[in-house]
Structure 1
Amino acid sequence: MTTTKLQNIIGVRLQKLGKLYHFDAADHAIDLGDYVIVDTKRGYQLGQVITYVAPEDVFRARGMKKIERKATPRDMVLKQVWQDKELNALITCREQADRLKFKGDIKFIKAEYNFDGSWITFLYTTENKKANVEPLRREMVRVLNTNVELQLIGPRDVAKIIGGYGACGGPRCCSTFLTEFSPVSIRMAKEQGISLSPSEITGVCGRLRCCLVYEYEQYVEAKKRLPKRGKKIGTPHGEGVVKDVRTLKESVIVEVDDKRYEVFLEQIEPLEELKALEEKAKAGCSKHENGGCDCGAK
């Protein structure tokens, strides 16, 4: 059962797996899952209400736009009609690009009409950042007789649109559930002990895989509790040297007398720390200069 809220800020998604945009619901009765018409820089768009947002949880800039209205059945049909025309529009755009001698400099990935066909956006990618697409935009305005925008997108966005499967064998995260791309660094792979071979850490987009972010914090926190490689520790098998760290299992591989054992966190004795405490105790204190101090005085 849904609950209608009045005069609240709502999060609206204009595309599947797209970003959330905040709008003022004003005095409209809005339920989660409802479709609404909103005014954007690309004309009127049809979006779905994903969440309610408390006013104190969002920066309410001066002039935050209000929704125009709730979508009607006619709006939904109109949206589908124009969606069905997007493929033909994309083909036409590619043909015009070839005619204007853009050749392989630019690849057009997708065409997106707004809900009433008054605006169309062509998403493209290119390595030539200085490519002038204005002549093509003007030509598409003439051919389609509507407002036209040509938007440059990055490799990750291309992979998100195309879809497919990742190296894990499952559908790509970006085209399945990711709504925004998080920053990814090579350090995340190093912390997790992943091979730095490009084939192991890059996705089909040629960028570092988004999934490197997922367990990074868990690895960082777990490593804080475990000894590093090369450190001497005490174990149930005797004193040994750490040869490998199995972070998520919270265990280490220790070499003791030329044999290797897996030792878990609760079985580890921090030898260096214990020896430091013993030496401190032997050194004595102001009350026990001859050593053997256990009073805790300084």
Structure 2
Amino acid sequence: MACGSCSTGKDGQPKGCKNNGTCGSDGCNKLTVFDWLSNMELPQGVAPFNYVEVRFKNGRKLFFENSEHLTLSIGDVVATEADSGHDIGIVTLTGELVKVQMRKKKVRTNSDEVKKIYRKASQKDIDIWQDYRAKEDPFKVKARQIAIRLKLKMKISDIEFQGDGSKATFYYTAEERVDFRQLIKEFAQEFRTRIEMRQIGFRQEASRLGGIGSCGRELCCSTWLTDFRSVTTSAARYQQLSLNPLKLAGQCGKLKCCLNYELDSYLDALNNFPKQDTKLFTEKGKAVCQKIDIFKGSMWFAYEGEWMNWFELSTDRVHQIIEANKKREPVASLEDYVVETASEINTFKDSVGEDSLTRFDKPKNKRNNNKRRRNKRQKSKRPKNNSQKK
């Protein structure tokens, strides 16, 4: 099913964005904000907020002033002001929630960043917009071929045409500085439009392209996440995760953003743990921490020189030993503070009583079986002696 801004075309497929019913995973519902004030009316004498939020390709959103006081609703296609010419976008939010979003993103109403809405897009505007949107994929292939021919160490990930086709923005990623002066000249000759090169990071590239993560769901950066915070390996260390780059890296090649989701909970839980480099002094010897379990609230210690024997202690008992060491009170051994766990021995019980777990452990002696078969065959071939003794 299509979104509200798409009209139905042939065979029941939606027009417009050409997502053909996959609006939840592609364009129309990307980074949406639910308008929970849509059913509420403003008090008398209060003028409606005269700014709207407009979405462009791949979830790019900007705020615009409704200077003409047009009657706009979510899903309307509008022509907006651009640096040169006009652009075409879809209204995603109106009313008082736009004020909240602008305050959240620190955008002022009287700043130069906020441009104006010209009009609601006519059918001619939409046709020109769709024609240039259809040219983006073949142009992207040609642009990559030109960059490879010029031997530039860059990757062109996406192209976005302005609504009137007067400008094309090329999004690229590169690890080093790229001299693309010759590239822009060839692009201008090939595509016959004004060229703008915009470098983005690897996380921004993944958010624009989208995809499915290792959890089986759509990427957070392409659906709802807008704040790209830095993720370090210390987040994995605090959560006791193995530092395997194949498992910790996302589709962008960087550490997964979801490593920061539960980090605050782990840090709060680690406040109750003593430092791992703390040594416990007992009459039996010094003990060093080998492992911790945040969920159980347990720590494993081993004596120096006896690294194979670990003793599980709760954090409360570890604090007791540390306090005793500070007061220089004698502590006999760690065995007195070990957490008591009921050991369960799992034995195999056959419900039928015929099978055995070790029935396949010993291989059968094929040679003895073959000898027995040969002896039986020879005995069966021998002639029977029917003569009677006199």
Alignment of structure 1 residues 168-207 onto 2, 5 Å: 168-207=215-254
What corresponds to 2:98 in structure 1?
53
2:189 and 2:72 map into 1 onto residues whose CA distance is 39
Structure 1 residue 80 corresponds to structure 2 residue 159:
no
Letter in 1 for 2:243: L
Distance 1:53 1:2 in 2: 12
User: What is the match of residue 252 of structure 1?
Assistant: 298
Query: How far did residue 84 of structure 1 move?
Result: 0.9
> What is the deviation of 1:86?
0.8
Unaligned runs of 5+ in 1: 234-239, 280-298
Q: Per the alignment, do residues 163 and 140 of structure 1 end up closer, same or farther by CA in structure 2, a change over 3 Å counting?
A: same
TM-score using structure 1 length: 0.70
**How far apart, CA to CA, are the structure 2 residues paired with 1:262 and 1:116?**
69
Q: C-alpha displacement at 1:110, in angstroms?
A: 1.8
Instruction: State the shift of 1:219 in Å.
Output: 1.6
Superposed CA offset, 1:213-234 (max 9, x none):
211122222222445547799x
Residue 283 of structure 1 corresponds to none
Contact 1:228 1:242 in 2 (8 A): no
Alpha-carbon contact 2:70-2:119 (below 8 Å) kept: yes
Q: How many residue pairs align between the two structures? A: 266
Shift in Å, 1:25: 2.5
- Equivalent runs, 1:207-286 vs 2, <5 Å: 207-229=254-276, 244-247=291-294, 249=295, 251-253=297-299, 270-271=319-320
**Residue 220 to residue 34, structure 1, CA distance change in 2 (3 Å):** farther
Structure 1 equivalent of residue 116 of structure 2: 66
CA distance in 2, matches of 1:95, 1:255: 60
2:168–2:194 contact (8 Å) kept in structure 1:
yes
Q: 1:2 to 1:73 in 2, by over 3 A?
A: farther
Q: Name the % identity.
A: 29
In structure 2, distance between residues paired with 1:103 and 1:83: 28
Q: Please tell me whether residue 147 in structure 1 is matched to residue 147 in structure 2.
A: no
1:152 partner amino acid: Q
Task: Quote the Cα distance in structure 1 between the aligned partners of 2:258 and 2:192.
Answer: 43
Q: In structure 2, do the counterparts of structure 1 residues 7 and 165 end up closer, same or farther at CA, with 3 Å as the change threshold?
A: closer
Distance 1:120 1:251, change over 3 A: same
Gaps of 5+ in 2: 1-36, 42-46, 281-286, 303-308, 329-390
The 1:105/1:254 distance shift into structure 2, 3 A limit, reads closer
Partner of residue 81 from structure 2, selected from 39, 44, 51: 39
- Cα deviation for residue 198 of structure 1 reads 2.6
Instruction: Kindly indicate whether the alpha-carbon contact (under 8 Å) linking 2:49 and 2:99 is maintained by their aligned counterparts in 1.
Output: no
**Which residue, 25, 28, 37 being the options, matches 2:66?**
25
Give the drift of 1:193: 1.8
| Secondary structure, counterpart of 1:184 in structure 2 | coil
DSSP 3-state at the match of 1:54:
helix
Q: In the alignment, which residue of structure 1 is the partner of 2:352?
A: none
Distance in 1 between the 2:136 and 2:313 partners?
Answer: 58
Q: Secondary structure at the match of 1:38?
A: strand
Amino acid at match of 1:155: F
Answering whether residue 175 of structure 2 is matched by residue 127 of structure 1, we say yes
The structure with the larger Rg is: 2
Relative to structure 1, is the Cα distance of residues 260 and 167 closer, same or farther in structure 2, using a 3 angstrom cutoff?
A: farther
For 1:85 and 1:254, how far apart are their aligned partners in 2? Answer: 62
Letter in 1 for 2:63: H
For 2:296 and 2:51, locate their aligned partners in 1 and report how far apart those are by CA, in whole Å: 44
State the Cα deviation string for residues 29-54 of structure 1 (Å, max 9, x = none). Answer: 33234333222347522233333322
State the Cα RMSD in Å: 3.8
SS of the residue 2:129 aligns to = helix
2:59–2:208 contact (8 Å) kept in structure 1: no
Asked if 2 retains the 8 angstrom alpha-carbon contact of 1:6 and 1:25, the reply is: no
**Cα pair distance change 1:62/1:157, threshold 3 Å:** closer
Aligned mate of 1:118, from 166, 169, 180: 166
* 1:146-184 per-position Cα deviation (integer Å, ceiling 9, x unaligned): 222122222223333444443444443333433342222
Task: Check conservation: 1:232, 1:271, Cα contact below 8 A.
Answer: no
